[in-house]
Amino acid sequence: MPKNKDAVYYSDYLKLDTLLSAQQPHSPKYGAEAHDEMLFIIVHQVYELWFKQVLHELRAIHADFSKPQLDDKALYLVAHRLRRVLTIQDLMNDQVAVIETMTPQEFLEFRDYLVPASGFQSIQFKELEIRLGLTRKTRIAFDQQSFYNRLNEQDRNYLEELEQQPTLFDCVDDWLARMPFLEFKDFKFWDMYQAAVNDALDHDETIIRENAADEEQLHTELAGIQANRDNFAALFDNERYKVLQESDAVRLSQRAMLSALFITQYREEPAFNLAWQVITSLAEVDEKLTIWRYKHAMMVQRMLGTKIGTGGSSGHDYLRRTTEQNRVFKDFFAMSTYLLPKSALPELPERVKAALGFSSLSALEKGDGAA
Amino acid sequence: MPKNKDAVYYSDYLKLDTLLSAQQPHSPKYGAEAHDEMLFIIVHQVYELWFKQVLHELRAIHADFSKPQLDDKALYLVAHRLRRVLTIQDLMNDQVAVIETMTPQEFLEFRDYLVPASGFQSIQFKELEIRLGLTRKTRIAFDQQSFYNRLNEQDRNYLEELEQQPTLFDCVDDWLARMPFLEFKDFKFWDMYQAAVNDALDHDETIIRENAADEEQLHTELAGIQANRDNFAALFDNERYKVLQESDAVRLSQRAMLSALFITQYREEPAFNLAWQVITSLAEVDEKLTIWRYKHAMMVQRMLGTKIGTGGSSGHDYLRRTTEQNRVFKDFFAMSTYLLPKSALPELPERVKAALGFSSLSALEKGDGAA
Amino acid sequence: MPKNKDAVYYSDYLKLDTLLSAQQPHSPKYGAEAHDEMLFIIVHQVYELWFKQVLHELRAIHADFSKPQLDDKALYLVAHRLRRVLTIQDLMNDQVAVIETMTPQEFLEFRDYLVPASGFQSIQFKELEIRLGLTRKTRIAFDQQSFYNRLNEQDRNYLEELEQQPTLFDCVDDWLARMPFLEFKDFKFWDMYQAAVNDALDHDETIIRENAADEEQLHTELAGIQANRDNFAALFDNERYKVLQESDAVRLSQRAMLSALFITQYREEPAFNLAWQVITSLAEVDEKLTIWRYKHAMMVQRMLGTKIGTGGSSGHDYLRRTTEQNRVFKDFFAMSTYLLPKSALPELPERVKAALGFSSLSALEKGDGAA
Amino acid sequence: MPKNKDAVYYSDYLKLDTLLSAQQPHSPKYGAEAHDEMLFIIVHQVYELWFKQVLHELRAIHADFSKPQLDDKALYLVAHRLRRVLTIQDLMNDQVAVIETMTPQEFLEFRDYLVPASGFQSIQFKELEIRLGLTRKTRIAFDQQSFYNRLNEQDRNYLEELEQQPTLFDCVDDWLARMPFLEFKDFKFWDMYQAAVNDALDHDETIIRENAADEEQLHTELAGIQANRDNFAALFDNERYKVLQESDAVRLSQRAMLSALFITQYREEPAFNLAWQVITSLAEVDEKLTIWRYKHAMMVQRMLGTKIGTGGSSGHDYLRRTTEQNRVFKDFFAMSTYLLPKSALPELPERVKAALGFSSLSALEKGDGAA
C-alpha cells in the first residue's frame, strides 16, 4: 500500500492541470470572447468523457461475450455494467437541457469559428455505434457520406479496422444461438408454443373484427395480423426466415431469435433472469440512444432553424433522418409480438428445471442446501 | 378565518375517499386479479390529473390573451404559469419510466379486458391540443378518424364546440400583431435588418461553397439557402407570405411573425424580456409534447411489438405518425433561421428606448427614480 | 373475452368522472378563487395515488415474505417490484419541483383555509412507514404526537391495528435468519472472514497513522477504528450483539446480519444475485424516502420561512428533525463497513457451489443442460 | 471568417487528445486494473468540468455586480446565467446515480491507491463556495481544518487571496442597499407594511390558540410567533438589527433586507421581475448545493459504511456535518416569513409606478409607444 511519500493529491490523481487546460475557445482569436463558447466546449467534452466511460463498459462486455463460453459471474457483470450504461445514458439525455440554456443568438456569436467541425466527427460515438453493431449502411446514412469522407486518415483507419471485427450484436447472437432450447427431449415446448401463439393471433383477429370502426381500419389491421402470422411461421421455417433477414425484417439468426423468445417467456426462472436482464438492457440502450439522437436533433433545429449547422448539415434534415431510428437490437425490442401471457405458457417439466439447476436459494432455505 | 369547528381534515380536503375509490381493475371480473392492472390504472389517472392542472393553467393563460389588451402583470403571470406547465411536462415525460417497469408479459395478463379503450380517447388531452391550436386536420391524422368517431355524444360535442373558439395560437398571434414594431418613425429598423440578414445568408453560402464535400452536398445545401432567401423575402411581401401560409410553411400572420422576430432580437431589453420568455416557453411546450408522444409511442411498441393496441391501433403505425411531429408554435421554434448575432444588430435609438420605458430598475439605482 | 356490448370506454375504465370531481378548492367559499389552490390539491392527490401504488407493491412483497418459504419466482417478483417502487420514488422526488413553481405569496392566498390540515395526516404514507418497519418511537418523533392524537377514530384504529402485525423488516429478518450460511460443514468461511476483516481494519489503522494531519484527527479516527473492531467482534458474540441491538446500533438479528453479509459478499453468484438485489433495493427505498423528506422539508421552509405550517408545525423544526433520518434498513446501508474486496475473499468450494445449484445457464451452454 | 485552410476539426477544437489522455488509473501500478477506477475518475472529472462552467458563469455575474451600477441588460444576463447554473446543478445532483452504480466492493478494489486524496481538496469547488460568500468559519467546519492545511502551497495561496475580495453575497447586498425603496416621499409604504405584518402575526397566533393539540405545542408555537415578532421589529431598528446580524440570525444588511422584501412583494411589476428572479435563483443555488452535499454524503456513507474515506474522513461525520446546511443566501430563502398575501398589499401609487417606468410593453400595445 502507498507510503506517505506516495501520498496522492486530488488534483494530481485527476490530472486536473491537463483536464482544465483543454478548453480553448476560438472566439478570442477573432475579437471579443463569446461568453457561451465555454459552455459549448464543456458540454461536448463532458459528452466525450461519458462516451469514453460507456466504451469502457461496452469493451469489457464485448470481451466477455467474445469468449467461447460465458460463465454466470461474467453474465452478472454484463447485466450490472449494462445497467450502468443505461444510467449514464439517462444523464446524457438530460444534459441536452444544459446546452438549451444557450440561446440561438448566443450561439451565433461564435458559430462561424467552428466551421466545418461537426458532432458527426466524434470518433468515440462512431466506435460506440459500430461496436454495438450499427451496420455501415445505416450508419453512413446517418453520418452523411460526405462527412465520413472528411475524417482524417488516422480516424478513418481506426473505424474501418474496427468494422472488420465481430460486433457486440454478433457475439450476443452467437451466445443465444449456442443455447440448447430447441432440443428438449420429450418436452414438446415449441409445438405447444406455436399452437398458443396461433390462438392468440386468432383472438386478436376476433377483437379487430368486432371493434373495427370502419372498412378501411378493418382492412389495415387484418393485413397487420396476416403479416404477424407470416413472420411467426417463418420463425420455424429456415427458408422463409432467410427471406425475413434479407428484407431487414429481422436481424437475429433463427436459433438466437428462438432462444431470446424462450428466455423472455421464462425470465422469472432464476436460470434465465440475468440473461433476460441482458436482453432487455440491450434493447434499452438502443431506445435511450434513439431518444438522445432525437432530443439532440430538436436542439440543433431550435438553435439553427433551417440554417446550416457548423458542419454544413441542416438540423432539419438530420431530424428527419434520425427519426428513422436505426436500432441494433430491435428484435429484442419487438419480442413482445410473439409473447404469451403466463396463463397460456406451458409449465417447464421438473426434469427440465432440475437440469437447469433451478433450485438455488430456495433450495438452501428448504435445507437441502449446502449444510 | 376558520373556527375550530371548521377545522379541515387532510383526507377530507383532498377528497381521498373519492379519489382512492376510483381504481377498479377489470381483471378480477374475468378471474384472478392481474397485479399490474393497478399500475396501469394509476399511471393513466396521474396523467389525467396532470392534464387537468395543465388545462387549468392554459385556460387562465388563454383568458388573459383573449382580452383586448394584455397588461404587464398579466404577462408576468403568463410567463410564470407557462414555466409551471413546462415543469409538469418534464415530470410527465419522466413518468414513462414508471409504466416501463411493467413487462409486455405482465400487460398481456389484462390487455384483453380493456378493449377497445384507448388513450386516444382522453378528452382532456384532446382539449389540450385543441386549445393550444392543433388544427383539426393534423389532430385527426393523429387520433385516427375511426376512434374520433367512436367518442360518445357528450365528449364529441364538447370538443366540436371547443373547436369553434379562437385557440391560444390565434390569441397570441393577435397580441403580437397588435405590436407597433413596424412603425418606428425615422428609425429604419427593417431596412437595416433585411440588409443584415442578406449578408448572413451570403456568408452561409460562402461557407457551403468552401466546405461542401461533394457536388451532391453542395447542390442540396445551396438549394436550402435559396429556400431561406425566398422565405425571408416573403416576410416583407404580403402576396408571397400568403403563399407560405397556404403551403403550411408558416402559420403566424405576417405582422405577428415580424413582431416575434423583433422581440426575439431585443429580448435583453427589459420591456421585451417577459414577452420573449412567453414566446420561448410556447415553443418548449410543443417540444416537450413531441418528446412525450415519442417516448409514449416507443413504450407502446415495446409493450406490443407489432401487435395491435387495446384500441386496435398498432404502436408501430403510431410511432411513424407521431414523428411527423405536428407543432403548433413551430414558427417560434424556427425563429432562429432569421436571427442576427448581437454584433450585427442595430442599436435601438434612445428615443425609442425611452418610449418603451426601458429605464425601470436601473433608473431607480441612478436615483432618477421614485424618490 | 369481452363482446362488443362490453366495449370498454377509456373514461369509464379510468373512472374519470369520479377522479376529476375530487378537486374542490376551499378558497371560493371565502371569496375569490385562489388560482394556485388547484395545483396544491392536485400535487397532493398525485402523491396519494403514488402512495397507493407503492402500498400495492409493498403489500404483495410483504405477503410473499410472510410465507414460511420464499420460492425463487417469488424472489424474482420481489426484486422486480422493488425496482418499480424505486422508479416511482424517483418521480415523487422530482415532483417537488412542481410544487416549487408556486411562490410563497401565491400559497398565502389560501393557506388559512386549510388549517389545521397537514401532510402529517396522510394515512397511506403512515401505513407505508409502518409496513416497512419504522418503529412507533421514531415515527411519532417525526409526526409529532400532537398531530397523531388528532387523527380521527377510524384512521387511528387502522394504524394501531397495523402496528400489531409483523412488518416487512421483521419478515425480511426472518427470511435471512433462515439461511444456513453459518453451517458449512468443513468450509470454515467465518474464520477466514474474521481474519480477513481484522487485516483490513489493521490496514485502515496504518493508513490513519501515516496520513493523519494532526493529533486531534489521529485520535478521532483511531477511536472510529476501535468502534468498528468492537462492533465487528460483536457480530460473533451473542451477548455483545444484544448490547448493540439495545443501543439501536444495529437492528437486524445476529443470524440475519451474517446472512446479509454473506449474500453481499457473494452477490455475483447466480444463487445470491436476486437476494442481493432485494437487500440493496430495500436500502435504496430508505435512501430515496430520506431524500423525499428532505426536499419536502426544504420546500416547506421556503414556502413559510419560519412561519407555522397549515398544521401548526414549523418547516424549520421539521427540517431539523428529518435530517436525523430514521432508516429502517440502515444495517443493509452500512453493510459496507465489513465488506472485503474480492481479492481478500475465500473462494466458495465447488461442493458448496454445487449444493447451491450454481450451474444454471452456463451449464446449458456447456451442454450438461436440459437436452 | 475562416478560409478552408483554417477548417476546424472536431477533435482538435475540443482538444480530445489532451482531454482523453487525462484518465490514469492507479490500480495497474499495484497489480490488475480495477475496472471501476475509470468510472471513479471520469465521474470526478465531469464534476470538475461542470465546476469550471459554473465558475465561468459566477465570475461573469460577480463582475457585473461589482460595477458601481448594474444596468438592465446586465440584470437580464445575470438572471439568464443563474438559470443556467441551476440547470447544471440539477444535472450534477442526478449524476450521483452514476457513481452509485459502483458497489462498495468494487470501490474497495482500488480505494487504498487513492489515499489520502479527497474531494475536500477540489479547489474549484472551494472557489465556488468562497465566491458565493461562504464564510471561512463555516467552510472550514465543512472541510475539516486538517485537510485544508494539507492543500499545497499554490492552492492554499490562491484561495486565501480570493478570500480577501468581496464575495458575490457582498456585491448583491450592496446592489440591494443602493435601491431607494425606503424613501418614497408621501407614500407611507413601510408603515402600512408593518401594520399588515403585525395583523398577519396576530392572525397566526389565533390559529395556534384555536388549534394547538396540547399545552406543550401551544407553548412552542407561541414562542415561535414571539421570535418572529422580535425579528420583524428588528428590521426597522438599527440597534436590534445589529444584534440579529451578530447572532447570525440574518446576514444581509438592514437596507438590503428591506429592498429584497420590497422586490419580493412587488415581483409582478415588470421593473422588479428580473431582480426577483435573481434573488430567487440565488436562494435556489444554495438549495441545490445543499441537496448535492446531502446526496453526496449519503453516497459516501453507503460506499464506506462507517469506514474511513480516502481522505481519512468518515462519511458518517460528513453526513452529520453537511446537514447543518450552511447557506449563503438563507435570508432570501426565509424571506417568506414576512411576506404578505397580495390582498393585504398596498397598491403602488401611479406616480411611483410611472417613475419606475412600469408601462413598457403594454404601453406599446396601447399605442402611446414608440410610433
Note every long-range contact of B319-326, with CB atoms under 8 Å and residues 24 or more positions apart, other chains counting: B319/B294, B321/B141, B321/B142, B322/B142, B322/B290, B322/B293, B322/B294, B322/B296, B322/B297, B323/A323, B323/B294, B323/B297, B324/B141, B325/B290, B325/B293, B325/B294, B326/B134, B326/B138, B326/B139, B326/B141, B326/B142
CA gap B100, B105 in Å, rounded: 12
Q: Could you say which DSSP state residue B7 is in?
A: P
The pLDDT value given to residue B369? 39
Q: What is the mean pLDDT of chain A?
A: 83
Which of D204, D214, D341 faces C307 most closely, judged by CB atoms?
D204
Chain C residues whose beta carbon lies within 8 Å of the beta carbon of residue B7: 115-116
Which of B112, B308, B336 faces A224 most closely, judged by CB atoms?
B308
| pLDDT for D43 beyond 60 | yes
The pLDDT value given to residue C369? 38
Q: What is the mean pLDDT of chain D?
A: 83
Neighbours of chain A (3+ CB pairs under 8 A): B, C, D
Tell if the CB–CB gap between B366 and D69 is shorter than 8 Å.
yes
B240-250 mean pLDDT: 91
B246 to B243, D175, D359: CA distances (angstroms): 5, 52, 37
Report the alpha-carbon angle D180-D185-D189, nearest 5.
75
> How far does the CA of residue B257 sit from the closest CA of chain D (Å)?
16
| pLDDT for C176 beyond 90 | yes
Q: What is the CATH number of the domain that holds C108?
A: 1.20.58.480
Query: What does the DSSP assignment read for B150-184?
Result: HS-HHHHHHHHHHHTSPPHHHHHHHHHHHS-TT--
Q: How many CA atoms lie within 13 A of C285 on its CB side?
A: 27
Give the confidence band of A150 by pLDDT, cuts at 50, 70, 90: confident
D353-358 mean pLDDT: 56
Cβ-contact A217, B312 below 8 angstroms: yes
Is the residue at A9 inside a domain? no
Q: Could you say which DSSP state residue A366 is in?
A: H
Which of B9, B26, B88 faces C121 most closely, judged by CB atoms?
B9
Is the residue at D262 inside a domain? yes
Cβ-contact D130, D167 below 8 angstroms: yes
What's the pLDDT tens digit per position in C149-166?
778 889 999 999 999 999
Question: Radius of gyration of chain C from Cα atoms?
Answer: 25
Tell if the CB–CB gap between C268 and A206 is shorter than 8 Å.
no
Chain D residues whose beta carbon lies within 8 Å of the beta carbon of residue C112: 203, 207
Share of chain C above pLDDT 70, in %: 82
Tell if the CB–CB gap between D336 and C149 is shorter than 8 Å.
no
Tell if the CB–CB gap between D334 and C305 is shorter than 8 Å.
yes
What's the pLDDT tens digit per position in A327-337?
899 899 888 88
The pLDDT value given to residue C351? 66
The pLDDT value given to residue D206? 87
For residue A273, give the C-alpha cell.
Answer: 433472469
Tell if the CB–CB gap between C213 and D149 is shorter than 8 Å.
yes
Tell if the CB–CB gap between A365 and C69 is shorter than 8 Å.
yes
CA gap B70, B55 in Å, rounded: 20
Best A221, A280, A339, A340 residue to mutate vs chain B (most B CBs within 10 Å): A339
| pLDDT for C370 beyond 50 | no
Domains identified in chain B, total number: 1
Tell if the CB–CB gap between B13 and C52 is shorter than 8 Å.
no
Is the residue at C91 inside a domain? yes
Tell if the CB–CB gap between B1 and D360 is shorter than 8 Å.
no
Tell if the CB–CB gap between B108 and A340 is shorter than 8 Å.
yes
- Measure the CA dihedral D82/D87/D88/D89, to 10°: 90
Tell if the CB–CB gap between C203 and A268 is shorter than 8 Å.
no
Cβ pairs B/D, distance under 8 A: 143
Chain B residues whose beta carbon lies within 8 Å of the beta carbon of residue C19: 19, 22, 45, 48-49
| pLDDT for B70 beyond 50 | yes
C27 to B10, B232, C144: CA distances (angstroms): 16, 51, 28
Least confident of A94-98, B174-178, B249-253, D197-201: D197-201
Report the alpha-carbon angle A174-C363-A367, nearest 5.
145
Chain A residues whose beta carbon lies within 8 Å of the beta carbon of residue D124: 20
Chain A residues whose beta carbon lies within 8 Å of the beta carbon of residue C361: 72, 75, 271-272, 274-275, 356
Report the alpha-carbon angle D129-D131-D134, nearest 5.
45
Is the residue at B244 inside a domain? no
Q: Which residue has the higher pLDDT, B335 or A236?
A: A236
What's the pLDDT tens digit per position in B273-332?
889 999 999 999 998 998 888 888 788 878 877 665 555 555 555 555 555 456 899 899
Count of CB atoms within 10 A of residue A219's CB? 11
CA gap A49, D14 in Å, rounded: 12
Nearest CA in chain D to A93: D91
Q: Is D15 helix (H, G, I), strand (E, B) or coil?
A: coil
CA gap A100, A296 in Å, rounded: 10
Is the residue at B210 inside a domain? no
> What amino acid is encoded at A119 in this protein?
G
Cβ pairs A/C, distance under 8 A: 143
What's the pLDDT tens digit per position in C73-118?
889 899 999 999 999 999 999 999 999 999 988 998 998 888 767 7
The pLDDT value given to residue A360? 46
Give the confidence band of B255 by pLDDT, cuts at 50, 70, 90: very high
Tell if the CB–CB gap between D90 and A97 is shorter than 8 Å.
yes
Tell if the CB–CB gap between D337 and C227 is shorter than 8 Å.
no
CA gap B12, B16 in Å, rounded: 7
Taking alpha carbons only, the member of C233, C299, C276, C212 closest to residue C78 is C276
Cβ pairs A/D, distance under 8 A: 174
Best B96, B105, B115, B342 residue to mutate vs chain A (most A CBs within 10 Å): B105
Q: Which residue has the higher pLDDT, C19 or B108?
A: C19
Is the residue at A231 inside a domain? no
Cβ-contact A10, D123 below 8 angstroms: no
Chain B residues whose beta carbon lies within 8 Å of the beta carbon of residue A342: 105, 109
Which of D104, D212, D323 faces C336 most closely, judged by CB atoms?
D104
What's the pLDDT tens digit per position in D48-87?
999 999 999 999 999 999 998 888 788 989 999 999 999 9
| pLDDT for A56 beyond 80 | yes
ipTM of this predicted structure:
0.91
Is the residue at B55 inside a domain? yes
Query: What does the DSSP assignment read for C256-273?
Result: HHHHHHHHHHTTTSHHHH
Report the alpha-carbon angle D198-D204-D208, nearest 5.
145
CA gap C5, A345 in Å, rounded: 29
> How far does the CA of residue C84 sit from the closest CA of chain A (Å)?
15
> What amino acid is encoded at D171 in this protein?
C
Is the residue at A270 inside a domain? yes
Provide the domain limits for residue A99.
Answer: 14-179+250-356
Is A250 annotated as contributing to ligand binding?
no
Contacts of D32 (CB under 8 A, 6+ apart): none
